[in-house]
Each structure stands twice: as structure tokens, then as C-alpha cells.
Amino acid sequence: MNPTERKTVLIVDDDADCRRLLAIHLKLAGFDVLEAPNGLDAISMLNEKKASLIVTEWQLPIIDGLRFLNWLQNEFETPPPVLVLSAAAGAGAEKNMLESGADAVLFKPVAAAEILSAVEKLLNDANETK
Amino acid sequence: MFVEQDFHNLPYDRSRNFNRRIGFFPDTDFQYRDFEKRMKNRVLLFSVLTILSIWIASLAGLFSLIDANLGDLFVRTAPSDASVVSNILLVETDADESPENRERIVENLQKYNPERIVLTEPPNSPAESFISLSRRYPNVVLGRSLRSDAAGAEPSLSPWPLDPGTDVPKFGVAAIPPPSYGIYRTQYAYVNVSGGNYPGLESAAAGLVVSESLPDTFLVNFQAGYGSIPRISSQRALSGDIVPELVAGKYVLIGKKQIPGEPGISTPITPDAPMSRLEFHGYALGTLLSGKTGKTVSAAIALSLIAAVAAVSFSMHCGLSAVLFQWLAFPVAAAYLVAAWGFLVFWNIRLPAVEMLLAHFVASAGFFLRRVNAQEADLRRMAIETSSWLSKRVLPKGFADSSEQWTLAASMVNQTLDLTRTIFLESIEGEKRVKEVAGLHCSLSDIAERRRDFTRTPYKTALEESEPLKLESDFLKPIPDDSGERELQYLVPLRFAGMVMGFWAFGIYPSGKKNIPRFETTIAIFAEQLGELLHRRMRKRRESISRSGREGFFSFQEGKRGYLRDLKQSADLIERRLSLLESAIESGETAIVLFDLFGRVLFINRRMIDLLKGSDLAPFQMTPMDLTMALAGGSADKFRELLRFFIFESDTFTLSAKLPSETDRRFLLHMRRPIPAGGLAEEVRTSPFKSSGILFELVEVTDIAKAGEYKDAFLSSVTTGLRRDLEPIVLAADLLAEEKLPSRLKASCSEILKRRVADMISLVQNAGNELAKENFHTLDERYPLDPTEPLKKAVEALAPEVAGRRLEIEIEAPESKSLVCAGPNALVDVFKAILSVLVGDAATDTKIKIDVINTDDGIIFTFANKGFGIPNAAFQRYLFERDEVGTPEFRRLRRAVVQARQWGADIRASSEVGEGMRFTLHFETGTCNWNWER
């Protein structure tokens, strides 16, 4: 990764431990990290700052993943890539999430390396698209 | 409801099979066959006895008079047959006609060539000419009378007026046999006098030869009718004024005319107007000449005829119904009479008509009475067996046997109705008094009225009233420790099948009475049941007395009245049981329809009608296949094959089913062939059409399915929780593996690791506990309760979150609220689930409003917030569709929706972005399936 182009990753998760640990992993991998505990705070944060990629839980208080993605689709012409990292792994969940605007879906528990790999892939794909 | 079918019009076999099919009555098939066999044997024996008795009586001459009179009647009513006497001419002389005149008459007549001239009596004085006439004219036959010299002496022929010597003129015995019961019907063919056989006058005139084969008498044929023989007077014959055709070729009988005032001969055609002897001889001679002598049947033929008549009656008895048999008895008797008349008129044969009629009527009456008696005996036996069977099958044994059961009943009644005390009294059989059966908190000695005579007040008044009698004065002695309230006392008559079985006296406080909805009706229902129990007790006692006595199992000392009473009471019991069964099936949760094998609806209960009507399905216009297709879906071919398989191979079948109009409800459609308990299964399997039909049961399994969904959701929640806890563990473990990670962070990771492992352990333990709970029980729990308390608990439980979001919950509810049918804890969870979503969505510093409104049919809760809201389509999907996505709050809400619907409540929700969310929860009264007061 080019150090001059540090990417910012927004982590949205109501599980503080998960959010914090993932942030450490991403920082160690060279990303800037923003953290939000729910969809509402994430929206507030994105109104002020720009994120290159969003890693979000699907089940969120106040404004859940679906509504958050809907907001992203409505708010940005080209929304940042979204990696849904969710504990809700029911039947049809992945399809539903992808249809709602997620670019990739990983179900917890998943290793840090896999998350980082998915994050980098999404960012590369986003660069290529530009 | 039972589809009306007229079982009374069913042929006997079908109704018997019906009884056997439903397993209600003991098997009567063998009894019926046995009855038929016994009937036939007895009837045959009776027939033989009847035939022999009548025949022997006939031989003994018991019916001679009636037979003779009946024969006379036939003769009088027969059409006139003048041919019998067409060759006869009578010449009537005076009583003192001289022998010379007679001779001249004969000579005059000879000029006209008569066939024969018969002088029916000898002259009174000696006259040679009398004898010489015969010698001169060979066609002259002389009549000789019989005489008896002394009383009791053997008669002899009257002597010739002059000795004829060896040249005896042609003569016949001018005698008539003695009358039978005053009527002359026969004439001598020949007469045995002093050891010699002499021809009767008519035989001699007709030229008959006396032989052994000739009967001594013959029946005179009077069918020509009285006065049908032509006659002329002696004066005319003497003057020669004779029409030649009147004499030519005729048999001319000369004799005395009937002198008015003198006794003559009574005959069948002249029972009251006596006939002259001359005329009688004329009929007798005509009879012989025409060959139309009357014939009687031999004893053997009489026996055969009587037997034939009895056989006809027997055939009628076997082949015809009792009513038809009765109606045909008289026409058949008339036919026998007509036959007897015809035989006499056309063939001169006298049938034993009276014997035949007697055989017919005796046999018919005997068979009829035998049938009635046998049927009554069988009916009585069936009644007894049915009563006995009922007492074993329908009546619980213990209740009648043990007094403990009655104590329990008293206790139950007290507890249910919150009575202060109660006592059951039964009437003593054959008396007008009552005695104690059982009591609680009181006994017979507490009853102030000492006579216990139920023809007196207050019993009499209670019997006259149609509802429980509230006693104005103390019937039961006052309770010593009465705590303020004055006890109300009631006396209720206990009846069964219109008979007074006893009385029920009880006390109750006014406050207790107020708590009993529809007090009089409730008491009446209890009284009806108690009356039946007392009846069973009385009946059981009668049976045991009877068993220990000599009369056998049932006492018939009271004769027919007792038997009819038993029958009526058995019928009442059957009716009650059927009503109970019908109402049980009607009020059951299972929807039932019974088709016969040809697709007609035999029975359908209310629930099935309601379910099918709700989906615009008309069961009475549907065949079993139509119904199966409508409920379970699929092609006609598939179900045709399925039905075929069901009818010929399988007894039961279960299909998953849905109502076309309510796809969210789940059902199982059981198809089975109703086969009576205790047999016939194999018979029905080998002969499918012996089955009673096809029974469809539509069992709603929505609750079970929802409970399954609840478990699925719970397991999904646990899995999600585990995934959430595992992720920090995995991430922390990965970090701990990083060598360059600062020790501060490593420590933090370790701490997270430990904590989340502990969380996981806790989650697994909680999940285990939750799964161990009897969720089905919890789901099913429902009873009427005040919703205020659960609502308060839910609001209190959410207070920290409400405060944290600076929200306020405002409740507007009437003072008095309708009860809702729910489980109390589950209702708290439902309210909490709704409020949690509303709290989560509400904008800060807003109010969540809860409105509670009583309506005519129940109660409506409305919950609304001012919040962010979500698109309504997504909201509906989260709540009501099988979608796995959503927050824990929404999953809890979905469970709440399932729960509320299980209670029969209607839950609706709406949401609008920027406005917030709104929930309406509508509970209807009566959804607990019992009536309860508000």
C-alpha cells in the first residue's frame, strides 16, 4: 500500500470489543480508522468525514445495516465500498445484504487476515473502477 | 351438526347395521336370528295343533249345525237352476181324495204319455185298484210309507191295501229322513227295513238299482227355488183339462197338497214357510234325475283343506308385515266363503266352510298374538340388555356405589360455587319423603323442617317453581359463626326424566352469589347433573336389590309400567349422552366432516363450517375429493389415486393443508375411515364398502408451527450471539500472535479474550436453560386477565432506556378495562417487545403514547411514537414475513406477533420515514373459548 495514500476505513459495530480489535488490525495494516457504534452515529460521521471503505455489522441499534446502506445509496453518487461483517448468518442473509448494496459479506467469526484481504480487494476494485 | 337422515324409514337390516356400526347397542344380529327361529318352530307347532283340533271337532260334528246353516244360506243366495226340476209335474190331491179318483187321475194322465207316474202314498182304505194300477200301467210307481207299531219299535213298511200276492207292484218307500236341526235336507236313496233294502220312492221312480255302493241318503238339490215345480190340482186332472206338454215325458208325482195350518217340511229354501211332502219328493226326484245331488267332502279332504288354510295363514304370517297381515285376514276369509259358495253352486260340493274359516281365524289370531308377544318380549329383553349395557358403558360405576363420591361431589359443588354449605337429599322409593345422600358443613339434623315430606312446603313450593327456590325462612339451621353477611338459602328440586329424584339444599353468601354469572341458570345446570346422578344411584340400588332377590337382574314386579319406565330412562340417558357427544364435537377445536362413501355429507361440525365458509367453500356441494383438493392442493389425478388408495388400502392419511383464504394458518388434514371400536377392522379392510364413510379432521397446527418458528428464531439468536462473541476472540487471538504488538495492547487483548470467553460460556448456559423451558406450555397458557399490570411491568422494565433517551411514556386508559385472554408473563413480553422497538426508533425528547380503548367486542391498545420510522414495506416484512434479517428488537417483536395471534388477538403496525411507528393490538372478548364476564 502506498503510504502517501492512506485510506480511511469506517468501522460500524455496536460490539465495542470487536470494533476496537478490528481497528487495531486495520491500523497495523496501515489504514486510518473511524469508529461508530450504530448506524445513526455512522451517518453523522460520514456527514463530516470521508471514508474509503466501510466495514459494518448488519444488526445495529437505532439504524440497522439495511437502513444504513439505503442511506448510503441515496446519499452518495458513488458510495464507498461496503464490507458487511455480520453475525446474522441466516438463510438468504448474504443475498439480501448484497442486494441491499453491500459489496462483500463475511460472517463472523472470521480471521483478521481474511478481513484485511477482503478490505484490500474491495479498495483495489474501487480504484480500478475509478 | 348431524345431517338429518330418516333412520325410521330404513329397512330393518340397515338400522341394525347402523346401530352396530356406531357401536352403541349390543349386537342384536344373533338375537334376531334366534328370535326368527324360535318364532317359526312355535308357529309350526301351533299350526299343527290348530289343524288337528279343528279336524277332530269337525269329525265329532261340532260344526254340523253351523255348516248346515251356512250351506242353506248358500242355497238361498245361489242363482236359480230350474233344470233340476224341469222333468217334474206335481198333481195335488185333497187329503180325503178317494182311491177311485186317484185311479181316474192316473188314467187321465196316461193319455198324455207321462214318463212315469208316482203315487207318493198308499190310499187310506183297502183298494184293489191301487195295486192293479201298477199292473195295468208299467210306468206307475207306488209309494209305501213306513210305520212303527209301538214307540221305539223298528219301523216296517205299511201293508198293501190288499195282498198283491207274488206279483208285487213297482214301489218305493215314501219316507223322508228325520230333519237335521229342524231342516229337511236329505232324502233316502234306499231304506233298510227288517233286514231288506228297499228303494226310496225317488230311487224307484228314477229307476235306480239299489246297490251297496249307493249311499243310503242324498242331499236334495233345492237350487231351483221354492215354487219352481209346475203343479196341477186333482180336480183339473180329473176333468181332463190338462195341457199335454205339461205331462208328456214328465215324471208326475201325485200326492196330498199342503193344507194350511198343518205342519209341513222346513227346507233350506223354506225355513219359515213349510213345504208339502209331495213337493219335497218332487225336489228329491228332480235331484236324482238331474244327477245334481249334493256332495260332502271326505274326512281326509277336509283335513287337507284345513291344513291348506292354515298353511296359507302361516305363509302370510312369514311373508307379510304385521299390519298387512292384519288387514288381509278378512279379505282372505271372504275368499274362502266365496270359494265354498262357488263349489256348492257350480259343482254341488259342500266344502267345510266353517272349519276353513275357523282354521284361518284361529291360525291368524294365534300367529298375530304370537308375533306381538314375541316382539314385545324381544323388545323388553333388548330394553333390559340396553339398560344393562348402558349402566356398564355410560354410567361410571363408582358414583352409584360409593358415598365417598357424593362427598366429593358436595365438595366440588361447594368449591365451584363458593357455597357456605350444601346437602343432597334423595326421595325414598315408594314414599313421599327424602333422606340424606351427602352433605358438606351440614347434615340432615341441620334441616329445621322435620317431616321431610316433599308433598309439603318448602319442597312442594320448590317443585312448583321452575328455578331454585330462595327460602325466606331458615331451612338450614343458622350458622353459629356467621361473619356479618346473612346467608341466603336455596332449595332446588333434582329431577330426572320428569321424576323427582331428590332435592339440593345449599347456603351462599350474597357476595358469593354475585360472583356467579347467571346464577339461576348455573344452579339449574348443576341440578340437572345431580338429578341424573341420583337417578343412577337409585337405579343401581334397584338392580342390586333385584339381583339379590329371586326376580333376576331386573325387577319386573311393576310389570309393564316398570319396563316402560326403564326404557324411557335408558332413552333419556342415550339422548343426554348423544347431546353431550354432539356438543363436545361441536365445540371442539378440531374441525370435522364425515362423508359417506358416495360423497354425501353425513355430519359436519360448526368449526368446520366456519373454516370452510371463511374460504368460500361449500362442504355440502363438495365431494371428498373436492375438499381434499381445495385444502391440500394438487391435481385431480393425484387425489383420485390417493382416494382410491385410501379406500382400498389405508385406514388413515394425513396431508398438510391450508385454507385458501388464510394462508398464514397451518393445518393437518387427517382422513380416516371411522371403524367401530373392538372389531370390524379386518372386515372393512377386505370389503371397503362396509366402511361407514370418510372422516376428515382439519387440525390447526399454526401454534405448533409458530412454536417451531419460535425455537428456530431462538436458536438463530443463540448462533448469532456465539458468532458475535467468537469474533473478538478470533481478532484478539490474531493480535496476540503479533510479536510487535505493544504489551499494553496485548494485555488489553487478553482481558477482552477472557471476558468474551466468559460471555460465551454464559450464553451457552442461558441457552440451555431456555431450551429446557416448556415453551409449548408457556405459549398455550391463556386465561382472562386485567392487562393493566402487565402493561405497567413492561413500562417499568424499559424505564432505564426511556430515561437514557430522554423519552416519556404516556398511558391513557379507562378506569375499568375489559379482560384480555392471554398469559400474564407472555403479555408483559409482548408489551415490552412493542415498546422496545418504539423506544429504539423514537426521537429524543418525545413521547410514546399508549391509548387503551374498550370497544363493544373487546379492547384495543394503540402504541405510537415520534421517531425516525422506516419504509412501511420493509417494516411489514420485518414483522410479518419469514425473513431472517432484522435487529434483536425486531426478532423479539416478531415473536410477540406470533404470541398475540395465538391468543386470537389482531396485531397491526405501520411506519413512515420521518414520522415514526404505530402499533395496534386488538383483543376480542370470547377468544378464550369460554364465556366470561367483564
The pLDDT assigned to B648 comes to 67
Is the whole model's pTM more than 0.80, yes or no?
A: no
Question: Nearest-CA distance from A73 to chain B in Å?
Answer: 15
Residue ranges of chain B whose pLDDT lies below 70: 1-40, 123-130, 150-151, 209-214, 273, 383, 386-404, 466, 480-483, 517, 543-570, 647-651, 675-692, 770, 772-783, 815-817, 881-887, 925-934
The pLDDT assigned to B566 comes to 65
The pLDDT assigned to A92 comes to 81
Looking at the complex, does the CB of residue A18 fall below 8 Å from at least one CB of chain B?
A: yes
- Pick the closest to residue B347 from B283, B296, B282 (CA basis): B296
Looking at the complex, does the CB of residue A48 fall below 8 Å from at least one CB of chain B?
A: no
A contact test, residue of B709, B712, B725, B731 with most A CBs within 10 A:
B731
The pLDDT assigned to B372 comes to 79
B899 close to B830: Cβ distance less than 8 angstroms: yes
CA distance A100 to B179: 132
Q: Specify the pairing of strand B349-350 against strand B421-427.
A: unpaired
Can you give B136-164 as a three-state secondary structure string? HCCCEEEEECEECCCCCCCCEECCCCCCC
Nearest chain A residue (CA) to B732? A21
The pLDDT assigned to B51 comes to 92
Chain A residues touching residue B756 (CB < 8 angstroms): 17
CA distance B40 to B48: 12
Chain B residues touching residue A85 (CB < 8 angstroms): 727
Q: At B352, which helix (H) or strand (E)?
A: none
Strands (DSSP E) along B407-448, which ranges? 421-427, 434-440
Grid cell for residue B143: 209309494
B140 close to B133: Cβ distance less than 8 angstroms: yes
Q: At A76, which helix (H) or strand (E)?
A: none
Question: Nearest-CA distance from A17 to chain B in Å?
Answer: 6
Grid cell for residue B453: 315430606
The pLDDT assigned to B558 comes to 46
The pLDDT assigned to A2 comes to 52
Nearest chain B residue (CA) to A68? B870
A contact test, residue of B709, B725, B727, B755 with most A CBs within 10 A:
B727
Nearest chain A residue (CA) to B884? A90
Grid cell for residue B932: 366470561
Cα B159 to the center of its chain, rounded Å: 85
Bridge partners (DSSP) listed for residue B384: none
Locus of grid cell 180329473 = B238
Question: What is the spatial order of strands in the sheet that B591-595 belongs to?
Answer: B601-604, B591-595, B694-700, B662-672, B652-659
ipTM: 0.93
CA distance A40 to A68: 8
The pLDDT assigned to A55 comes to 96
Chain B residues touching residue A64 (CB < 8 angstroms): 886-887
Instruction: Check CB contact under 8 Å for B745 and A67.
Output: no
Question: Nearest-CA distance from B733 to chain A in Å?
Answer: 9
Question: How much is the average pLDDT of A35-61?
Answer: 91
The pLDDT assigned to B554 comes to 42
Q: Specify the pairing of strand B156-157 against strand B146-147.
A: antiparallel
CA distance B37 to B51: 21
**Higher model confidence: residue A89 or residue B324?**
B324
Q: Which amino acid appears at position B552 of this protein? A: G
Chain A residues touching residue B723 (CB < 8 angstroms): 87, 89, 107-109
- Pick the closest to residue B282 from B438, B146, B174 (CA basis): B174
In 3-state terms, what secondary structure has residue B905? Answer: coil
Grid cell for residue B670: 387427517
Contacting residues for A61 by C-beta, under 8 A, at least 6 apart: A14, A37, A38, B840, B887, B889
Q: Specify the pairing of strand B265-267 against strand B270-275.
A: antiparallel
CA distance B2 to A116: 73
Nearest chain B residue (CA) to A28? B741
Instruction: Check CB contact under 8 Å for A109 and B738.
Output: no
Nearest chain A residue (CA) to B887? A59
Contacting residues for B685 by C-beta, under 8 A, at least 6 apart: B651
Looking at the complex, does the CB of residue A93 fall below 8 Å from at least one CB of chain B?
A: yes
Q: Specify the pairing of strand B88-93 against strand B231-233.
A: parallel
A112 close to B731: Cβ distance less than 8 angstroms: yes
DSSP category for residue B429:
T
The pLDDT assigned to B691 comes to 57
B82 close to B224: Cβ distance less than 8 angstroms: yes
Grid cell for residue B555: 325387577
B822 close to B782: Cβ distance less than 8 angstroms: yes
In Å, the largest CA–CA distance within chain B is 191
Locus of grid cell 278378512 = B330
Instruction: Check CB contact under 8 Å for B738 and A87.
Output: no
Looking at the complex, does the CB of residue A24 fall below 8 Å from at least one CB of chain B?
A: yes
In 3-state terms, what secondary structure has residue B394? Answer: coil
Q: What share of chain B is helix, strand, coil (3-state, %, to 5)?
A: 50, 20, 30
- Pick the closest to residue B65 from B179, B176, B226 (CA basis): B179
User: Looking at the partner chain, which of B726, B738, B887 has a beta carbon nearest the beta carbon of A59?
Assistant: B887
| Measured CA distances, B860 to B212, B733, B813, B916 (Å) | 122, 53, 10, 20
Looking at the complex, does the CB of residue A67 fall below 8 Å from at least one CB of chain B?
A: yes
In 3-state terms, what secondary structure has residue B822? Answer: strand
Instruction: Check CB contact under 8 Å for B887 and A25.
Output: no
Q: What are phi and psi of A78, to 5 degrees?
A: -120, 90
| Measured CA distances, B148 to B190, B276, B392 (Å) | 18, 22, 88
How many inter-chain contacts (A to B, CB under 8 Å) are there? 89
Q: Specify the pairing of strand B916-924 against strand B906-912.
A: antiparallel
